[in-house]
Amino acid sequence: MKNKVESLLAGAWITAFTATLGSLFFSEVMNYVPCDLCWVQRIFMYPLAVILAVAAVKKDAGAVKYTLPLSLIGAGIALYHYLIQKVPAIQEQGSACGIVPCNAQYINWFGFITIPFLALTAFTIISVLLIMVMRTVKRG
């Protein structure tokens, strides 16, 4: 059980760290200016990279109590952002998002992979791994 929890926490941290580096790559290397919703998603992802690193090193399954809510809220925001980009009925809401409209798509790989989709994927992976940690600890 202990090794499984360690592996799950490490996986969640690697995902959060990769997402953090990815967002910095897009803004600092590719010079994509983040919209307001992108900034909010960063507010939820960046602490996860730090907290999950500490949790993985200390083998602290208790970190799930405060990292899972961050991840779930971040996933909700990323889903909303993705819907603004892809659903015509609500696309107009994204045009008044700030300096950069939230419906702007810097990338659109295969017609559906955008930056909010990548964030949603990362938040979902982190959430699933953290739920698995919770269940593993409960089974004890």
Angle at 102 between CA 96 and CA 107, to 5 degrees: 150
CATH number of the domain at 105, please: 1.20.1550
Confidence at residue 94, expressed as pLDDT on a 0 to 100 scale: 66
pLDDT of residue 97: 75
Cβ–Cβ < 8 Å for 66, 39: no
- Return per-residue pLDDT of the chain as tens, 140 residues: 679 999 999 999 999 999 999 999 999 999 999 999 999 999 999 999 999 999 999 999 999 999 999 999 999 999 999 999 999 888 777 676 778 888 889 999 999 999 999 999 999 999 999 999 999 999 87
- The DSSP call for residue 111 is T
Instruction: Compute the half-sphere exposure of residue 113: CA atoms within 13 Å on the CB side of its CA.
Output: 5
- Count other Cβ atoms within 10 Å, centred on residue 84: 22
- Predicted confidence at residue 92, as pLDDT, reads 77
Count of domains in the chain? 1
Q: Give the pLDDT confidence score for residue 86 in this predicted structure.
A: 93
Structural domain of residue 112, as residue ranges?
2-139
Instruction: Give pLDDT, residue 2.
Output: 75
Query: What is the pLDDT, as a whole number, of residue 43?
Result: 98
**Distance from C-alpha of 119 to C-alpha of 42, rounded to nearest angstrom:** 9
